[in-house]
Amino acid sequence: MKRIFDLVFSLIGLLLLGPLFLIVAVLIKREDGGPVFYRGERVGRCGIPFKIFKFRTMLVNADKIGASSTAEDDPRVTRVGKILRKYKLDELPQLINVLKGDMSFVGPRPQVRWAVDLYTDEEKKWLLNLRPGITDYASIKFHNEAQILKGSLNPDRDYMEKIHPEKMRLSIEYAKNVSLKMDFIILIKTLSLFFKREG
């Protein structure tokens, strides 16, 4: 049922958001002529890597000139990128990953390889058994992650110290109690947070 939900609503979402995708693509292209999408590698279910879809919010090749984690004041973020990040619009193309089966609407956020390599055996047992998601309880709690990392001289280190442990705890809690009912609750909380931010 979870996969059927993902298939149906990711397709509906992509069809409805098509015009918005086009507008964002034009804005990104006009700013610096670089690619519209960021296709960084993430670790998926069973440890299998996949390419994530995000609207590009940073300079071309930003992942080669800085940390994996991004602070609010990161100089690599473009002018358009700041707006996309503020309203989480850069995450919308992950609907393509959901449609493909790389991700789900709800699940632990996908991590880069170096972060997964640091997982404990328990974290690997629970988290790599699930498709990673667009949102989860950890995403809701740390919706201001970029603000937490603002001013950091080492965003990756500070992420691992200040954010990672609690994210792992919440993700494992989700994995142990996963259900469609819980997914709906998380989706509603995520949408409520978005509209609260807009308000």
pLDDT one-digit tens code per residue, 80-124: 999 999 888 999 999 999 999 999 999 999 999 999 999 999 999
Determine contact, residues 4/183, Cβ cutoff 8 Å. no
Phi and psi based region of residue 183 (left: phi greater than 0; alpha: psi -120 to 50; beta: remaining): alpha
Task: Provide the β-strand partners of residue 106.
Answer: 135
Write out the two tokens for 4: 């059927």
β-bridge partners, 104: 133
**Tens-place pLDDT, residues 156-199:** 888 888 898 999 999 999 999 999 999 999 999 998 887 765 54
